[in-house]
Structure 1
Amino acid sequence: MELIRADSRGAFTNDWLDSRHSFSFSDYYDAERMSFSSLRVINEDWVAAKGGFPMHGHRDMEIVTYVMEGALSHKDSLGNGSTIRPGDVQRMSAGRGILHSEFNHSETEAVHLLQIWLLPKFTGIQPGYAQEHFPLEQRRGKLQLLVSADGRDGSLRMNTDANLYASILVADEQVTYQRPENRAIYVHVARGSLQVNGTALQAGDALQIREETELLFGTADSAEFLVFDLP
């Protein structure tokens, strides 16, 4: 298991955005952190009140937005408009091209989110959008499947060979995951403190795992974390 500490991430700040980059992104470049399997981007963003990303374009990327605090308003060139709140998960398939904007309309509260990019299985597809609410209490003490290649168990379907799980644990709760053969696992701690097979992680820390067979997740306090099952 390779441990990546939160304070080793890239950083970008302007008057409305404070962002941390787990992988090379924009002006942050690290040849050792270009991607992990098909996982290309995890940006932890704090978007200030009345701030946001203006309309801009993407192509051939699967983009997942995971909001932890606040409300983020979405618009895109497909005609979709929505608000993403904690418990909501948004998936965009950029395909052969999509434009979108994300904005925080609050007068006082920041939005705290994770923006995730995964490399697609097929390029040049028709762009698409989906959003689903997954009640936070449903991931208490277990790994809930949010996004997958086949849309099983009520998850959002995406155009990549990956499964994204989320879990919320409180003191002394544990959950396990069996790594399938020939798969890679990436763990990102969204909030709190987590132990994975005895390794201690804090918010923003991550683990890249290729050989451990069984993963035991636990916390002495509380933790919210994501698990990516990747090719």
Structure 2
Amino acid sequence: MRIREIVLATLGLVSASFAYSTEASAQTTGVPAIAPRDETWGTVSHAMLGVGAGTVFLMPRVYYSDPEATVGWKGRWHFSMFAPAMTMAAATFLVDGPIRNALQYPRPGCSVDQTLVANTDSGCETFGGPSTHAFASWGATGVGTGIFLVDTIKYSKGRFNAGSFIGNIGVPLVASILTSVGRGVESPAVDEFGTQTLPYETSNQIIAGTFAGFFTGLLVGGAYALLQRPSCGYGNAIFCW
């Protein structure tokens, strides 16, 4: 299957997964917080997730060109990068919706029944495990790791490029760690009623999301890099399929 066909197929998968996740998260309103969360750490986890995923999926494919062409390091942006990006997005929606709803592991301070009611602003709107943030952030790190390893070992004949390492592994790794911290930190903050805030997810929920996300991303990124050469073929185009 060509990369363009994979892109179209994953578009459908993302749409279906998003529809399920949206339907499953319908909630009622107007209930005080049962388990308040620290919004600052929530914002940190959102931002770091965006930084890590954005860095990986906006990185060019860096490789050392073949001897038959102009020798040296090259960087090419591939529109086909939408394929692994949307595949991981679809997998994240599946974790966020049907998988977590099937496992029914509540967030800290919540019960299964409170989560099933899913009152808005209760802190128990959704189940917590596996952690969706951990899955998505570490999944992006896995994708970057897979691409870096294939581009380094297969296409660059073992030559190491620091820029590719930083963009594909270094930045996403740091962002993933901060995302996990933001989801699991026990903050001393209290809400407006003086109630102690609780972590967004338990350590086990974060660990489950971390391992599942990283190895899923590693498989997706490695497979994509093997199917799509980093070069654009003939010519000096920088953007290519």
Structure number with greater CO (CA < 8 Å, separation at least 6) is: 2
- Relative to the length of structure 2, the TM-score reads 0.21
Return the structure number with greater strand share. Answer: 1
What is the TM-score normalised by the length of structure 1?
0.22
Q: Please state which structure has a larger fraction of its residues in helix.
A: 2
